[in-house]
Structure 1
Amino acid sequence: MLPANRLKIAFVLLAASLVMSSKAQEKNYVALVNPFIGTGGHGHTYPGATMPFGMVQLSPDTRLKGWDGCSGYHYSDSAIYGFSHTHLNGTGIEDYCDVLLQPTTGAYKWSSEDYKSSFSHKTEKASAGYYSVRLDKYNVDVELTATLRTGLHKYTFPAGTKDGNVLLDLLHHDIVLDSWLEKKDDHTLIGMRQSRSWANKQTLFFAIRFSKPIGKYTVALNEEEKGALQKAEGRNIKAYSTFDVSDGKPLLVQVAISGVSAEGALKNLEAENADFDFESTLKKATAVWNKELGKIGVEGGTKDEQTVFYTALYHASINPNLYTDVDGQFRGTDDKIHTANGFTNYSVFSLWDTHRAFHPLQTIINQKRTADWINTFLVQDEYGGMLPVWELSANETFCMIGYHSVPVIVDAYQKNIRGFDAKKALAAMRRYAESNRFGLPFYMSNGFISNDKEPESVSKTLEYAFDDWCIAQMAKWTGDEQTYVQYLQRAQNYKNIFDPSTSHMRGKLGAMWYSPFDPREINHFYTEGNSWQYSFTAQQDIAGLIKLYGGKQKFAAKLNELFTTVSKTTGRDQADVTGLIGQYAQGNEPSHHMAYLFNFVGQPWQTQSYLHKIFSEFYKNAPDGLIGNEDCGQMSAWYILSSMGFYSVTPGSGQYILGTPVFDKVTIHLENGKQFVISAKRNKPSDFYVQSVTLNGKPHSQSYFLHTDIMQGGELKFNLGAKPNKIWGTADKDLPRTKIDEHLITPVPYFTGNDKKFKGQTSVEIKSIEPGAVIYYAVTPLHGESTNAFFQQYSAPLQLTQSSTVYAYAVKAGTQSKTIVQDFYKLPEDKTVNVLSKVNSLYTAGGPDALIDGVVGEANYRTGEWQSYEGTDFEAVVDLKQSKPITYVGAHFLQDVGSWIWMPKSVGFEASNDGKTFTPLGEVKNEISDKDYTPSVKEFGLPVQTTARFIRVKAINYGKIPDWHPGKGGNAHIFVDEILVR
């Protein structure tokens, strides 16, 4: 028992603690959220009502199509079609916007262009869990709030109105595969909507309950009124319910959704929204949001900075979405119904984006949910046959690249988050990484991906290598040494696409560097970016990457060049590449770790300077306050972590790299009951350079700290000043480090030239990026097979006089690299070609000779063998150098409708002996459907009997892209690769 005086002190301390706790809970974090941030520009967010990680996202729809309408809402719009119940948070592809309701007055209007209403932002309000607006056309005030699985509408009709209508539109937004609607009773509608957009087959059930009895009820099928059908089926169902609102009281509408069944939706409705108390529901939603947002408390900074922070935390608390009914049932990725056992099932995993910062953030503030998400991954593997890549409503969309559920699992496991089967997870990881998907077979056998085998080859090689490092760590922790070694070696494959002559990660066609090379060019070698934005992507082995660049000084110089070079990109237009500082792109995820890399070379003040610039210029309290797509919380999670003063450069390492904090004090309330505080002392608000750091009262000279430091609780203090301190964090012992220093590979050798086609003879030089490596080679006739007996040590450039295949590998310290293979083609010297049309600079196939080199392309336009002619006809003249008997003329063309490439409408051939006067030989019409999306190659050819020196070929372009295609109004491409004259 405590002595009386100590007992009194204990009570005083307890009372003080309770008061502090109560004050923390009383803080209205919701008031600091502005859901309109990101609804303008290219943020692609929505302003409507939702709950933390909830199933329902109840929000207005102002835009039906287009990239900036991916969330269904854009701040620049002035009309609302209605209020639907599912929305995506900042994605780059359209989907969702299911089950649209629109309150109206007067006569029924069935067309969306007729029933939509204008609105003003002056009457629009939004906060976490709440949205309201006035529909000017009908003078109806709309308020929205939500529970986890239901939305609640409140419609206040104009005074004196007798009849108020509510339209239900099941056709709205994407392609409906099937739907049905049933009037269950005078207050209730139930139904199902199955649709296709990004998700190939999204199945959603719903239950709608009105606070007033339905008076008149009318259904329309295919825009034709059918009266009060009790049950309707079809692909275009709309219905009006009319209510007596003459009492002046608002009409309330409850809507529950389910991926399982209409009965499941009704259960969800009964469990979460049994009454029609809007104020009570909103109060509960506000309380839940305050609890979620209160997991991180910030003090100091400006009011706008706090709003940006808490809106970021709000946006990072929306996805993934709950995808489990109240009874535990959910639809799996096998399209069957299952019951969650010991976990909660979720959906909407934008893993290419979110593995970088969003999931590392959640390992700090949402550990229980993180375990649920990982268990969701594992049942998706069990039922659907694979870990998710980009899963949406039980559909794998295969959007983006990599297998980035892996770092999410591994990062969580490294941080001691359990509650899932680690060995089962490792087996699932290996199943994906050893599959035949997306260039993986070539990656495994060759150590890199060539773009003629798989597009976006550089990005895929780099991101696969990081994921493989994560698998290696999981194997090591679970005692699987063989898998550890295998995947640690795969994790070094990034070395195989590093070009020392340019100091860039550079694409290959076959085993040769793609040329001409421009690191600013956005092309099909990279995912939403260019070489600049991928040349610092080896987070698993930054020490090895620095070595490739030639050491810390050269690496730092290249980093500086990244941030200071010209910001203009070249190549194809890529709307995602925004927020440029030099070629660094804050608006897209591949760049997000790069400002922190200065810490790895002892220049942390550079990191601090660029972070301050990003904070100041790219995150604002305005509708266009996000510089790029929100991407399911990643853009915001970057800001949350970075503004607190640190970032997870390498998920799975347990390291956080220090930056510079925005706020005076940040308190993280951990699930284990402890707190971690980050505080900043500065002489004036503009100070951001780190002068010194202490951790739990002790000097901290390292420019990083560990996840365990956070979880143990404590305080990280920054002392900030106006000028950079070029001593702190610069000693070798204080630098963060990721490195692979065992089971090292020997990188593949490379050819120094860039032309696999030659006339007469060519010289082939082979080099290695590995000092001291010995190269071996073999030469066979074209497409011949190599054997060990053919290989000999390389000492000088090879002289080729015939079409040949060259094999090569490198050996160092007894370790042999993968073998590279390259075909070399000797061009015919009995003809030339003159192209009269303008070729697209991204697809030249190396020049005009590609049209007469005898190499016929496959149905893959990215191989480098195809030439493109955009929005114009193709015309060329082949010169045979003398008149010859000709029995056949032809040309090879490609169709890939999904990539805007169509067969020509027709191909005509003409002959001449003087190159001036041409005689028609005939014309071949296209017979392949312009709506056939399967990539295909067709030879347009004619048997002829003539003697001529010149053959002219003219292919007529498909023309403008039609309205039924996503590229409507754009220019079609002609892709040609060979002109045949025999």
Structure 2
Amino acid sequence: MRNTSSLIFILFSFFCFSQENSSSEKLTSYVNPFIGTGGHGHTYPGATMPFGMMQLSPDTRLDGWDGCSGYHYSDEYIYGFSHTHLSGTGVSDYGDVLLMPTNTVNFNNGADASTSSAQVQKGYRAHFSHENEIASPGFYKVLLDDTNIEVELTVSKRSGIHQYTFPKNSKQIVILDLEHRDKVLSSEINVVSKTEISGHRHSDAWAKDQRLFYNIKFSRPYKNLTFLNDKTEGESVKAAFEFDASEGNKLEIKVAISAVDEAGAKKNLESEIGNKTFQQIKNEAETGWEQQLRKIEIETQNDPDSYRDQKTIFYTALYHTMIAPNLYQDVDGRYRGMDLKIHQSNDFENYTVFSLWDTYRAAHPLYTIIEKDRTTDFINSLLVKYDEGGILPIWPLAANYTWCMVGYHAVPVISDAYLKGIRGFDAEKAFTAMKHSAMQDKLGLKSYKEFGFIPVEEESESVSKTLEYAYDDWTIAEMAKAIGKKEDYQLFSERAQHYKNVFDPETKFMRGRFRNTWFAPFDPYEVNFNYTEANSWQYSFYAPQDISGLINLMGGKAEFEKQLDELFTAKNETSGREQADITGLIGQYAHGNEPSHHMAYLYNFVNKPSKTQEKVHQILNEMYQNAPDGISGNEDCGQMSAWYVFSAMGFYPVTPTSNQYIIGTPLFESATINLEDGKKFEISAENLSDTNKYIASAKLNGKPLNRSFIYHSEIMAGGKLVFKMTNKPSKWATKDDEIPKTEITENLIVPAPFIAKGDVAFKNETEITLGVVSDKTDIYYSLNDSDFKKYEQPFTISEETILKTYSEKLPLKPTARNLGKRSPLLETHFYKIDPNLSIALETEYANQYNGGGNNALIDGVHGAMDFRTGAWQGYHDKDLKATVDLGSLKEVKTVSVNFLQDQRSWIFYPSEVSCAVSENGKDFTELPIQKIEAEKPSEDAGIKTIQFEVNKNVQFVKISAKNIGDLPKGHLGYGGKAWLFVDEIEVK
């Protein structure tokens, strides 16, 4: 949303920058840390150093999805200033060791308005105004309106300084709150002297066991110290320090943190700050950021207002790529490992906060260009996590595995760096660790290895996991090839083709395979449990390792281009469950979430680079603004910004590990990458304007460049890339030998067959049609362990049946050594429903949890403990009302029905279940209602069977189950609505 408040923000930001920076030439003056603090950007405006351990920033929000960073631009109150924050994540954590200057001893943070006392109700939080707020790299300043206290913050890597200016003759009190934000496991305040305290805070949030230690030094001794409830340690520790106002209005507080111990925090403070003043540390921070931002220098000749905005967006994006991963090691080399033990590193710096599902796409490839040395540290950090924790991490946070997101994307980060010639780590060990991640049996990998895809009924987000595992496997194959491991190369290049097994040739979309049929009914707009934060539109173009293969599956270049066109012109709405991450929609392209990030560049692969240029230009200008909500989705630890940095320069890494960057369109007349070895790679655009967004021609180092991609080696060698721009599509780089390719041509697999038509649960009979995504491939099948025979045409089954199938592809000239290849053997159990049995549903289930359709509750298939596996039928904020018709009068002894509870996923048992029976369908006899304590908190998933005694002849059975509706107070989703999950009404 763009409105007048955004305009005021831009004008105010310009004023702040001009006031705080003496030279407009400083690149730090173009960084606006408030970009992303509004909307769903989830960034914070406070002070940090490049990839630093400390993030000293204001906290304006205590919880909620848009409070993940602790700050949101729409808020009006500051609760205090804590020392750790996450940048752009979709899950909340950190906010450790909060300090807040105030003028009264009050331990209430002001968030609870239910208290009667006005003073306690107000608490120590303070109102603030953005007009009195300034942020720049390494510095933050705000005036607290309620107390008229001015707060300034600055940092070094592991330490920071608070500088408070109190009003003259006012009380000077500082609150230390160790209970702030997430659940405290243990905390402590140790008084060393009247100017020094230390302690720890151990907490449970996203990181289940985060251990943090601190050392705090005051510039003046406190005169009074008050503890909340006289407690210096425990789960609720707060203290108020009062300082003598007669000794001056300014108070400096120096703080250092450590994940190791209090001694480590003290040493960090002494080494980094010591006796240095606030201004000295601020100057050092600004100098450090200036040097960092100089790694890429851009220029543009557009009009002054647009020039400043574009440059501000670019350098803020570059700034955001340099915030995480975060240093996680003390000055003496000690750090806390994934085993929560203390380790020593003298050879590299250890890091945490790797948002790998996001950052493997563009942020880490950017680091391979401008942060080669730090990339080596990143990889060594990942490898020691493998040593200490037993597996490469997926999303490591503060020495904890969070297991967040899908794939094993530490693998492409390592492979991409190695294939680009980055060394400084043990390649053999790295490969062993990469392969180890791929050979696990959890998170769907057991099925993936056995069948070549993950069935819907085996694992949630099965389509996304299959696709992302396949890409990761390709990067393992590429590294295996580079280091001479032939067997591994064959295995993983075969696994890299598993994406073919979730491609439905009829709809041309990636779809879930439910008992070897396609998950149905199918709606590509539907956000459901088959995809990760996306729908089928947003995952059906994901096979970056074999784009040529994907193009062939879709029917060739013309069909692929048509499907891409439809992606960008489709209605910009989704169906199914609400997914806040799906933002920044252009049709069904969702720039606010990472699965879409490569798609605009895919036109290059079908000889239409001008369409890539159009779409990239549109995204650059529409999805990034110099405003608080100027990022179209979660910033995600640098990935959203890395897309912009690359794309604004004119190219993007569609396939990390391929060593290719696909050319889009430059946004600036000039961009210079200052490489670490002193070389420069310059990109310039002649005749560039908002309308001249198309490339007419290009030259690399003075020679014509007639291809729409460049190599990593060409960038790292230094040189000059010159684009000549025009206002209409040209024929530049449109020939077949001028376009990029990623393709798998060796160790080709035979895709697994699928059931194209046929009901897994049927009445009377069902016709079975088999299919396979491969030309000249035969399908063989067996019914109830009969001999396999070649599939020639559809066949019908009328009884409960076990169907086994496989596909086989023979070579043109079979030999004794080459008899062809077979797919994995697949098995499907077909159930026959009593043809006299029927069910009428008075309430509507959610299609994403349809359980198999209208007959799901009487099909004989029972739901498992994991609701995502597809057998459960889900009702959102609705009761279940169903009537089973037995077809005729029958003696019924019992009626039972199963319900699922998984409160962490918003699924609750019904509060009551009723059953009524009837002989004629009109006159029903009510059986005793059974009540359940559905709202009783539970951390465990469970299945409850409700049984009714009938013992009479009936034909109709009516089941009603009452959804609790509003999620109970205290639940994470309080304010939302509950789900009711039911499966299998059994009449005996």
Aligned match for 1:117, one of 122, 126, 129? 126
Q: Structure 2: 5+ residue runs without aligned partners?
A: 1-22, 112-122, 812-819
Query: 2:879 matched to 1:873?
Result: yes
| 2:720 partner letter | E
Distance (whole Å) between structure 2 residues aligned to residue 505 and residue 885 of structure 1: 47
Aligned counterpart in structure 2 of residue 768 of structure 1, from 765, 772, 776: 772
Question: What amino acid is the match of 1:762?
Answer: T
What is the CA distance between 1:943 and its match in structure 2?
A: 3.4
What is the CA distance between 1:590 and its match in structure 2?
0.4
For residues 662 and 245 of structure 1, what CA distance do their matches in structure 2 show?
54
CA contact (8 A) 1:657 1:736 kept: yes
- The residue identity in structure 2 corresponding to 1:459 is S
CA contact under 8 A between 1:452 and 1:860: conserved in structure 2? Answer: no
**1:549 corresponding residue in structure 2:** 554
- 1:198 maps to 2:206: yes
Q: Which residue of 2 aligns with 1:294?
A: 294
Q: Is 1:168 aligned to 2:176, yes or no?
A: yes
2:10 corresponds in structure 1 to: none
Separation in 2 of the partners of 1:684 and 1:946? 82
User: Which sits farther off after the overlay, 191-200 or 352-361?
Assistant: 191-200
Structure 2 equivalent of residue 259 of structure 1: 259
Return the alpha-carbon distance in structure 1 between the equivalents of residues 857 and 428 of structure 2: 53
Q: Which amino acid in structure 2 is aligned with residue 278 of structure 1?
A: F
- Give the match for residue 755 of structure 2: 751
Task: Say which is worse superposed, 336-345 or 746-755, in terms of deviation.
Answer: 746-755
Cα distance in 1 for partners of 2:215, 2:959 equals: 62
Match of 2:164 in 1: 155
CA contact (8 A) 2:935 2:968 kept: no
Per-residue deviation, residues 105-152 of structure 1 (Å, max 9, x unmatched): 134343443110000101100000000000011100000000000011
- Match for residue 936 of structure 2? 930
SS across alignment from 2:698? strand
Match of 2:450 in 1: 445
User: Letter of the aligned partner of 1:154 in structure 2?
Assistant: Q
Aligned to 2:6: none
Secondary structure, counterpart of 1:470 in structure 2: helix
**Which secondary structure state, in structure 1, belongs to the residue aligned with residue 849 of structure 2?**
coil
Whole-Å separation in 2 of the counterparts to 1:809 and 1:315: 49
- Checking the alignment, whether the CA contact within 8 Å between 1:897 and 1:930 is kept in structure 2 is no
Provide structure 1 residue ranges, at least 5 long, that are not aligned to the other structure: 1-24, 781-785
Superposed, 1:464-543 pairs within 5 Å as 464-543=469-548
Shift, 1:754, TM fit: 5.5
CA RMSD of aligned residues (A): 1.4
Offset from partner CA, 1:926-961 (integer Å, 9 cap, x none): 368832232222211133322222222222223321
Match of residue 192, structure 2, among 159, 169, 184: 184
CA distance in 1: counterparts of 2:878 and 2:732, whole angstroms: 60
- How far 1:520 sits from its partner (Å)? 0.9
TM-score by length of structure 1 reads 0.94
Partner Cα distance (2:445, 2:552) in 1? 27
Amino acid at match of 1:285: A
**Mapped contact 1:469–1:488 kept (Cα < 8 A):** yes
For 2:292 and 2:109, locate their aligned partners in 1 and report how far apart those are by CA, in whole Å: 40
1:4 alignment counterpart: none
> Which of 361, 366, 372 is residue 361 of structure 1 equivalent to?
366
- State the alpha-carbon separation in 2 of the partners of residues 293 and 111 from structure 1: 38
In structure 2, what is the Cα distance between the partners aligned to 1:806 and 1:532? 31
Instruction: Determine if the alignment matches structure 1 residue 96 to structure 2 residue 94.
Output: yes
| Paired AA for residue 121 in structure 1 | H
* Structure 2 counterpart of 1:322: 327
CA distance in 1, matches of 2:698, 2:357: 33
Which 4+ residue blocks in structure 1 deviate beyond 6 angstroms?
Answer: none
Query: Are the aligned partners of 2:908 and 2:934 in contact in 1 as well (CA < 8 Å)?
Result: no
SS in structure 1 of the partner of residue 456 of structure 2: coil
Q: Give the letter aligned to residue 157 of structure 1.
A: F
Superposed displacement of residue 661, structure 1: 0.7
Match of 1:79 in 2: 77
Once the 2 structures are TM-superposed, how far is the Cα of residue 683 of structure 1 from its aligned partner?
5.7
Q: Is the 1:514–1:754 contact (alpha carbons within 8 Å) kept by the matching residues of 2?
A: no
Q: Please show how residues 200-279 of structure 1 align to structure 2 within 5 Å.
A: 200-220=208-228, 224=229, 226=230, 232-279=232-279
Aligned partners of 1:31, 1:957: CA distance in 2, in Å? Answer: 55
1:783 aligns with none
* Match 1:391 to one of 385, 389, 396: 396
Distance across 1 between alignment mates of 2:856 and 2:555: 37
Taking the aligned partners of 1:886 and 1:801, their CA distance within structure 2 comes to 26
The two structures have a TM-score, normalised by structure 2, of: 0.94
The one-letter code sitting in structure 1 at the alignment partner of 2:696 is Q
Aligned to 1:6: none
| Aligned-partner Cα distance in 2 for 1:83–1:762 | 65
SS in structure 1 of the partner of residue 869 of structure 2? coil
User: Residue in 2 aligned with 1:793?
Assistant: 790
- 1:862 is paired with a residue whose SS is helix
Equivalent position to 2:969, from 963, 967, 972: 963
Return the match for 1:946 from 952, 962, 967.
952
Please say if 1:979 is aligned against 2:977. Answer: no
Q: Give the alignment partner of residue 134 of structure 1, picking from 143, 167, 181.
A: 143
Give distance in 2, aligned partners of 1:40 and 1:60.
14
AA matched with 2:789: Q
State how far apart, in whole Å, the 2-side matches of 1:517 and 1:754 are: 15
Q: Is the 8 A contact 2:174 2:241 kept in 1?
A: yes
Find the counterpart in structure 2 of residue 13 from structure 1.
none
Q: Which segment drifts farther, 422-431 or 942-951?
A: 942-951
Q: Distance in 2 between matches of 1:358 and 1:683?
A: 27
Instruction: State the number of aligned residues.
Output: 941
Q: Counterpart in 2 of 1:43?
A: 41
Shift of the 928–518 alpha-carbon distance from structure 1 to 2, 3 Å rule, reads: closer
The CA deviation string for residues 385-443 of structure 1, in whole angstroms up to 9 with x for no partner, is: 11110010011101110000011001100111000011101111111110112000000
> Which of 728, 736, 744 is the aligned partner of 1:732?
736
1:870 positional shift: 2.1
1:888-946 alpha-carbon deviations (Å, 9 max, x no partner): 11111111111111112232222222222222333333368832232222211133322
Q: Is the 8 A contact 1:245 1:251 kept in 2?
A: no
Identity %: 50
Q: Which amino acid aligns with 1:130?
A: F
Q: Deviations over 1:221-249 (max 9, x none)?
A: xxx3x2xx7xx111000001111132434
Aligned to 2:658: 653
Contact 2:576 2:846 in 1 (8 A): no
Counterpart amino acid of 2:875? Y
1:303 maps to 2:304: no
**Contact conserved, 1:160 with 1:248, CA < 8 A, in 2?**
no
Alpha carbons of 1:509 and 1:633: their partners in 2 closer, same or farther (altered >3 Å)?
same
- Give the structure 2 partner of residue 615 of structure 1: 620
- 2:881 is paired with a residue of what secondary structure? strand
Where 2:850 maps in the other structure, the secondary structure is: coil
Q: Does 1:144 align with 2:148?
A: no
When structure 1 is superposed on structure 2, of 657-666 and 964-973 the one drifting more is 964-973
TM-superposed deviation, 1:731: 0.8
Q: Is the 8 A contact 2:758 2:767 kept in 1?
A: no
Which segment is superposed worse, 753-762 or 801-810?
753-762
Give 1:884 deviation, angstroms: 2.2
CA distance in 2: counterparts of 1:703 and 1:729, whole angstroms: 6
Q: How does 1:644-723 map to 2 (within 5 A)?
A: 644-682=649-687, 684=689, 686-723=691-728
User: In 2, distance between residues paired with 1:929 and 1:971?
Assistant: 12
CA distance in 2, matches of 1:800, 1:454: 28
Farther off after superposition, 146-155 or 429-438: 429-438
How many Å separate the matches in 1 of 2:948 and 2:63? 44
Distance 2:360 2:870 in 1: 32
Q: Is the 8 A contact 1:252 1:276 kept in 2?
A: no
Q: Matched residue of 2:676: which SS?
A: coil
- Residues 961 and 584 (structure 1), Cα distance of their counterparts in 2 relative to 1, 3 Å cut: same
Instruction: Describe how 1:585-596 pairs up with structure 2 within 5 A.
Output: 585-596=590-601
Q: Partner amino acid for 1:790? A: D
> Which letter does structure 2 place at the counterpart of 1:164?
Q
